[in-house]
Structure 1
């Protein structure tokens, strides 16, 4: 029973008030709860970048969560691109 053919990976760019509001930590916690792997990081332009991979349902759940984020965040937009899975081992918080 292979999971690879049932895997989805996305690259997200989240804009709004998403830095300095614990967005990365909350996103990582949500992703780990959903069993996803990948990473989240701040971008120099004030956006947050998320790469996540796992089951299609779990990925979609994280994408939905990213539209709201943690309570202190104010999300304006989430750009979603489907990408090839990179085979991450876990979900990490970068810079």
Structure 2
């Protein structure tokens, strides 16, 4: 009995990253990585100095994106990473920087 197809099931995750994540190109690099992996959603800076994102795509793509977000781009220093799956009806068409 085959399991769910990890390339077709759509997952949506909310992510919050803290540390040295603003002023180091975190959002720009996140958009580039999302486009390379084919995930959709958005990324934004928060007033408290953290970054939040919504990642949506096939399970394998989302896993790769979450793994990248735990580290971030070269000049970032992630000290705290939070992610949780969200069940939403909305389907994003692209990945954007807010």
TM-score normalised per structure 1: 0.91
Partner of 2:96: 92
Q: Secondary structure at the match of 1:58?
A: helix
Distance in 2 between residues matched to 1:88 and 1:31, nearest whole Å: 12
1:76 has 2:76 as partner: no
1:87 positional shift: 0.7
1:77 positional shift: 1.4
1:58-77 alignment to 2 at 5 Å? 58-77=61-80
1:21-36 alignment to 2 at 5 Å? 21-36=24-39
Runs (4+) of structure 1 exceeding 6 A deviation are none
Count, aligned residues: 91
Q: Which runs of 5+ in 2 are unaligned?
A: 1-5
Q: Which runs of 5+ in 1 are unaligned?
A: none
1:78 positional shift: 1.1
